[in-house]
């Protein structure tokens, strides 16, 4: 019973089916019909014109999106625990040519206008200090919190006021939308670009970078190729995105993962370190308690010395979630 | 009847099968059993210890391989028509942090010790000029020529003498080995790293970077992650590589493509601009002749004003090759 | 009697004097009065609003100027023999984050609209090929040729038509203006940025980057600091620029160097490989002839196997120029 | 009476004299006799073989030194308040191609083995996290503290144990050595490279990067040129270094600055935020108190809302130091 991560879960049957269906020769790279249809599908979903580029990983999605907003001599405000800071092996430094991540605080790994201002207001407007060019937020956050529409709007207002780009890392965007029970448009809010994650949500190897500014997408196309991310059989990535969008599979899968997380959360009570607003649980428990859980066959990561992280996935079985819930309650 | 490129051809059934079989949850990234078994399989194939990393594209494979050999202040000798110079959207500049491509000549897009020396010998040993750090050759070359074992050996000897790394872009490595009718080891020769291409040869989205120096592979692992190329469901890429290696499918597929190319070559005679030693044909023909061919349903790229490029693939049908052969003969 | 280069010649007394005068504590970096007065002085000289930044070297000037025009995924058209390609140790690759130099031909190391078009017209408008973002020309050129006003204007028109930035490397800008007998404005023409060289013309360690687009200067200020080129006692660089501009010392010094070159050129006749339109001479002569000259005490560089390069400086003595002239005539 | 910074103070007469003496044409770049003699002089000073490269700024010195130790995918441990993190406009990101600064804590802006371990020990040995490649410490620190010989030795031992390079930013190296009353060798300890600062200590525009590993110096020479820091009249920078080394002028100047700081420190008592172990004072005082001081003609920077920073220089007059001392005592 694995709760290690959603990042290695199985591929959804509809995704497999779409990929098989794509195995007719078509134009290479993104010249195929499926890739060409992405903009329209995404524009319909978000209710405003946008351009979508597939890439294989969230790291590439985040970095290519940011590269359209940030000059090499600039900086990106992000949370101290953001994936781009903690888990991407320095990819932002590579893609942004040394542009700096400016680390901000915030409960549950969520930024606020105040925490952003605390970072950027002290920056003197002189050349000795790296100036902010963009803000990156994560929806749902690295601690499983979801930004409400007004929270994103407030950050977007600050970004606009200061002339900063706004990027959303949506590795678990579906889980946030499912938790918020809102549309994709409302979950994204007025950001400039979104890394729309599918791999953790049932796809195999396709994320979409959604640009709400078409000019940025034009730059991103060059950056994607330059980074070796323009696959020649790109139709197989486009097919995955289409499968995830069709009949809102992305939302259904996320709801399923969230439901499993909610089931487990119900047993955690005071143990929860953060509200469960997506498909991740950070649960206080001793080493002995973790040992007890592992003996019962549950797989998960330690989170520091006194906690564990459990992640559910689109295909987490109800009985497994219930079993873990019970096991935690019994601790 | 498409002869546009091998880069968008269908995926081989054995590759599909291996991918489906890989759809059991396993450790993410390259922690899965399939990824872990690559080194052994590749070492057996090449008859010497090597380490293999999957990546999704040839561009990424070439650039990550070179990044282990070239410092940012250095240079890479390659042919003026090399893929890394002509078709990768500046990816080497990105991955190598501005290291310079030093362009050499050579018949059929193949380098020789002489053409390499013509580039590096005039470089003064001072800081005003970019010093060569590595050589990159393409097997089979961009004009469909295959390096013989002694040709690679001579270049490797020069590289060793001058302290340069040696990289082989093997986007069509299988086609070269098939033409040369030799082992993988003999087709690679004593290079330091090989971009072993599978996507043009029946795979979907997996190439292998083969490092004959394990230390270089250690660096490459960081570079791959940093470039956003470490896919979380990496087992699906590893599965493709295994499928291609199993029972030498890579060689069988390449032979099939080469046979189709040879069939067509037989009809070209004096029209051939380069010997056909892989699966590409560069054929002199007028615009009117190209029009005639297109009217008969043949797809291909113009090659300048007076020629056409035809590329066969692992699944080019014999009757299509024969039809094109006849059509060219009838021009 | 040294004709090796103008790059190591003595410092003009007026420059020394200005530097000594600057040795009163003032604000650090470019906050001092002298640095602050540069824009006005340069605007007056060029007859249009411009912003000037001092830097210590021509390499830094060229690269910082280009960094304001070229995105990392773009390219710079320059002559195959341009200093940025041949002699800057890969600095453009560093400063432009791997943006590519696109090499063009042209008599006397001068570009023409035709030679530029020959490079950029074949570039397909797709992501696989690096797109041009800027053009860089050298005034006077690496072979001592000076662009006439209409030649620069024609290139500028092409740049504008194609949406490209236009940079002028003016390491020997004074020599060109002196030869053309025209104003600084006419020698620069409608370029976007000029590396206005002083070090080869009597200064010690100061060049000016002149931006005719103030927004570009704002970016350049960050880039200069980020490259470690914002000296804390910047007033000593500003002082040098002021000294060079005062009473058109830059022009007087250049005239002096040109006159010496013209004196020598008079003796060279058919030996001249390029017209002498500045202070450099490329002179055909055998190894034996070069030996003869060296025995007479003349210092210069070989230029390949069959020629020599002579460079005069602001302080080349008339008698030395005459002596060399005679020696060449006597060969 | 300026106590703003030592970075814009006057140039020492001996430095002027040496620069004037250098105004004889010699080989360009670092081919001149003065540049060539640096290694020997520095080796004598440090009592072990070393190679010295001049550069114009401390930012360039730090970054070029680090570039020899850190791969682009690596990281540099430094103090959260280090100059490379706070005041170099992102230069490390530029020079190190996006390598990451890993920020550590420490009293008085000084690192300790413990504070370094607190940063590097939690870094998992996997590709998702940036691995440390080097440590950078500042002597004297950004808060005017000097590392004792055993403190540097302990950090060097840790660096060696972990295979990390060790760099010392010695922008105020002389002030540390003067305070510690020790030799240059003892103030540097077993670091791999030292940015030996002179500009804040009486020079105009020359720092020396001292490499105790000659191989690193070879790389640094290419990096210096590539960054546009190889000045063609480099002899004027070499001359400054020689003047500063001659008869230990660097130490005498630093002693003078330190004495002025000690004079002022004597009046500060409890106001001092950090021990005064060099030429900087961080003094608690209210806005009203600062106003009082400014009314008396003292120039200095505010340090946050409740403090002021005073910096003395080699040429701070005794009477000015005494006056400030008295003024503070009178607050």
Neighbours of chain C (3+ CB pairs under 8 A): A, B, D
Q: Distance, in angstroms, between B159 CA and closest chain D CA?
A: 20
Interface size, chain A vs chain B, as Cβ–Cβ contacts under 8 Å = 145
For residue D282, give the H/E element and its range: strand D280-284
- What digits encode the pLDDT tens for the residues B132-178? 999 999 999 999 999 999 999 999 999 999 999 999 999 999 999 99
| Residue range B251-267, pLDDT digits in tens | 999 999 999 999 999 99
Give the mean pLDDT per block of 10 residues along chain A (331 residues). Answer: 91 98 94 98 97 98 98 98 97 98 98 98 95 98 98 98 98 98 98 98 98 95 98 98 98 98 96 98 97 97 95 97 97 91
Choose the closest CB to B225 out of D29, D127, D219: D127
> Which residues of chain B does C88 touch, with a Cβ-Cβ cutoff of 8 Å?
128
- Report how many Cβ contacts below 8 Å link chain A to chain D: 59
Neighbours of chain D (3+ CB pairs under 8 A): A, B, C
Spatial separation of the C-alpha atoms in residues C112 and D217, rounded to whole Å: 41
pLDDT of residue A214: 86
Residues D258-315 pLDDT 10s: 999 999 999 999 999 999 999 999 999 999 999 999 999 999 999 999 999 999 999 9
CB contact under 8 A, D90 and A99: yes
**What domains, with CATH codes, occur in chain B?**
13-249 (3.40.640.10), 251-329 (3.90.1150.10)
pLDDT, one tens digit per residue, over B215-230 is: 999 999 999 999 999 9
Q: CB distance D73–B224 less than 8 Å? A: no
Nearest to B94 among C86, C98, C129 (CB): C98
Q: Give the count of Cβ contacts less than 8 A between chain C and D.
A: 146
pLDDT value of residue C1: 84
Supply the ipTM of this predicted assembly. Answer: 0.97
Record: contact A127-C222, CB cut-off 8 A? yes
Is residue B156 within a helix (H) or strand (E), and if so which, with residue range? Answer: helix B149-162
Contacts of D223 in chain B (CB under 8 A): 73
| C-beta separation of C98 from C116 below 8 A | no
Closest CB from A87, A89, A98 relative to D93: A98
Q: Which residues of D touch A94 (CB under 8 A)?
A: 72-73, 97-98
pLDDT class of C167 with cuts at 50, 70, 90: very high
Give B-chain residues touching C87 at CB under 8 angstroms.
128-129
Query: Under an 8 A CB cutoff, do D28 and C20 touch?
Result: no
Nearest C-alpha in C relative to D60 = C228
Nearest to B229 among A5, A26, A228 (CB): A228
| A-chain residues near D66 (CB < 8 A) | none
pLDDT at B25 over 90: no
CA distance B177 to B99: 31
Q: Distance between CA atoms of B208 and B55, rounded to whole angstroms? A: 6
Residues in chain A with CB shorter than 8 Å from the CB of D63 are: none
Q: Which residues contact C19 (CB under 8 A, 6 or more apart)?
A: C204, C236, C239, C240, C243
Give all chains having 3 or more CB-to-CB distances under 8 Å with chain B. A, C, D
Q: Do D221 and B71 touch (CB under 8 A)?
A: no
Q: Which residues of B touch C100 (CB under 8 A)?
A: 90, 93
Q: What is the pTM of this model?
A: 0.97
Give the C-alpha separation, D36 to D34, whole Å. 5
Enumerate helices (H) and strands (E) in chain A, giving the number of each. 15, 10
- Whether pLDDT at B1 is above 90: no
Q: What is the pLDDT of residues C56-87, one digit of tens each?
A: 999 999 999 999 999 999 999 999 999 999 99
Distance from CA of B98 to the nearest CA of D (A): 10
Contacts of B25 by beta carbon, 8 Å cutoff, 6+ apart: A2, A8, A9, A10
CB D147 within 8 A of CB D116: no
B58, B88, B205 member nearest A205 (Cβ): B205
The pLDDT value given to residue C214: 86
Closest Cβ–Cβ partner in A75, A87, A130 for D128: A87
Residues of A in contact with C217 (CB under 8 A): none
Contact state of B127 with D221 under an 8 Å Cβ cutoff = yes
Which residue's structure tokens are 């210890």?
B49
* pLDDT for C25 beyond 90: no
| Cβ pair C72:A72 closer than 8 A | yes
d(CA B220, CA D1): 56
| Mutation target vs B (from A23, A30, A56; most B CBs, 10 A cutoff) | A56
Span B117-143, average pLDDT: 97
Do the Cβ atoms of C127 and A222 come within 8 Å?
A: yes
Which of C89, C90, C129 lies at the smallest CB-CB distance from B89? Answer: C129
| CB nearest to A73's CB, from C128, C131, C226 | C226
Q: How far is B90 from chain C (nearest CA, A)?
A: 6
pLDDT, position B214: 86
Neighboring chain D residues of B221 at a CB cutoff of 8 Å: 127
C-beta atoms of B92 and C99 within 8 A? no
CA distance A326 to chain B (A): 24
**What is residue A1's predicted lDDT score, i.e. its pLDDT?**
84
**Is D73 within 8 Å of B230 when comparing Cβ atoms?**
no
Of C63, C205, C226, the CB nearest to D231: C205
Structure tokens at B52: 């293999």
* Nearest C-alpha in D relative to A93: D98
Mapping DSSP onto H, E and C, the string for D50-107 reads CEEEEECCHHHHHHHHHHCCCCCCEEEEEECCCHHHHCCCCHHHHHCCCCEEEEECCH
CA distance B75 to chain A (A): 18
Inter-chain contact D227–C5, Cβ cutoff 8 Å? Answer: no
Give one DSSP letter per residue of C25-94, joined into a string.
Answer: ---STT-SHHHHTHHHHHHHHHTS--EEEEES-HHHHHHHHHHTT--TTEEEEEETT-HHHHSSTTHHHH
> How far is it, in rounded angstroms, from Cα C62 to Cα B300?
43
Ranges under pLDDT 70 in chain D? none
* Contact across the interface for B8 and A26, Cβ inside 8 Å: yes
B-interface mutation test, from A228, A300, A309, most B Cβ less than 10 A away: A228
Query: What gap in Å lies between CA D54 and CA C243, rounded to an integer?
Result: 25
* Residue of C56, C94, C97 to mutate, interface with D, max D Cβ within 10 Å: C56
Beta bridge partners of D283: D272, D308
A interface test, pick of D98, D119, D125 with most A CB neighbours within 10 Å: D98
pLDDT of residue D221: 98
The secondary structure of residue D25, as a DSSP letter, is: -
Is C203 in contact with C240 (CB distance < 8 Å)? yes
Phi, psi at C209, each rounded to 5°: -95, 120
* Closest Cβ opposite residue A130 in set D75, D89, D97: D89
Contact A127 D92 (CB under 8 A): no
Q: Residue D149, Cβ neighbours under 10 Å: how many?
A: 16
DSSP character string of D292-324: HHHHTT-B-EE-SSSEEEEE--TT--HHHHHHH
Q: Nearest Cβ partner of D91 from C4, C5, C228? A: C228
How far is the C-alpha of C232 from the C-alpha of D201, rounded, in Å?
A: 12
Asked if D127's CB is within 8 angstroms of B230's CB, the reply is: yes
Give the residue on A whose Cα is nearest the Cα of B203.
A233
- Please tell me whether residue B309 adopts helix, strand or coil conformation: strand
Distance CA B129, CA C93 (A): 12
With CB atoms and an 8 Å threshold, state whether D72 touches A94: yes
Q: Quick one: pLDDT at residue B319?
A: 96
Instruction: Give yes or no for a contact between B97 and B70, defined as CB atoms under 8 angstroms apart.
Output: no
Nearest Cα residue in chain A from D123: A86
- Predicted local confidence at residue D164, as pLDDT: 98
């Amino acid at each position: 019973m694995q709760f290690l991560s959603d990042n290695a879960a199985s591929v959804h049957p509809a995704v497999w089916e779409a990929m098989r269906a794509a195995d007719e020769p078509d134009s290479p790279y993104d010249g195929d019909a499926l890739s060409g249809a992405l903009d329209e599908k995404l524009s319909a979903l978000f209710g405003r014109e946008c351009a979508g580029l597939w890439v294989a990983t969230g790291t590439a999605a985040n970095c290519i999106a940011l590269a359209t907003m940030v000059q090499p001599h600039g900086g990106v405000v992000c949370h101290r625990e953001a994936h781009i800071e903690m888990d991407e092996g320095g990819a932002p430094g590579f893609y942004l040519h040394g542009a700096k991540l400016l680390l901000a605080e915030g409960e549950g790994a969520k930024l606020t206008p105040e925490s952003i201002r605390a970072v950027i207001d002290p920056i003197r407007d002189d050349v000795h200090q790296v100036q902010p060019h963009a803000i990156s937020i994560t929806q749902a956050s690295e601690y499983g919190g979801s930004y409400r529409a007004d929270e994103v709007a407030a950050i977007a207002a600050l970004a606009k006021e200061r002339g900063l780009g706004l990027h959303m890392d949506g590795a678990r965007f579906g889980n946030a939308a499912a938790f918020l029970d809102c549309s994709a448009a409302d979950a994204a809010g007025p950001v400039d670009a979104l890394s729309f994650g599918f791999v953790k949500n049932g796809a195999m190897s396709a994320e979409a970078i959604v640009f709400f500014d078409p000019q940025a997408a034009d730059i991103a196309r060059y950056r994607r190729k330059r980074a070796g991310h323009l696959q020649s059989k790109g139709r197989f990535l486009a097919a995955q995105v289409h499968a995830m969008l069709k009949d809102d599979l992305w939302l259904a899968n996320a709801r399923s993962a969230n439901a499993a997380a909610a089931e487990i959360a119900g047993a955690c009570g005071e143990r929860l370190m953060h509200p469960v607003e997506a498909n991740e649980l950070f649960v206080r428990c001793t080493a002995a308690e973790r040992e007890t859980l592992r003996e019962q066959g549950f797989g998960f990561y330690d989170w520091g010395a006194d906690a564990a992280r459990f992640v559910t996935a689109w295909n987490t079985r109800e009985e497994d979630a219930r079993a873990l819930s019970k096991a935690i309650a019994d601790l």
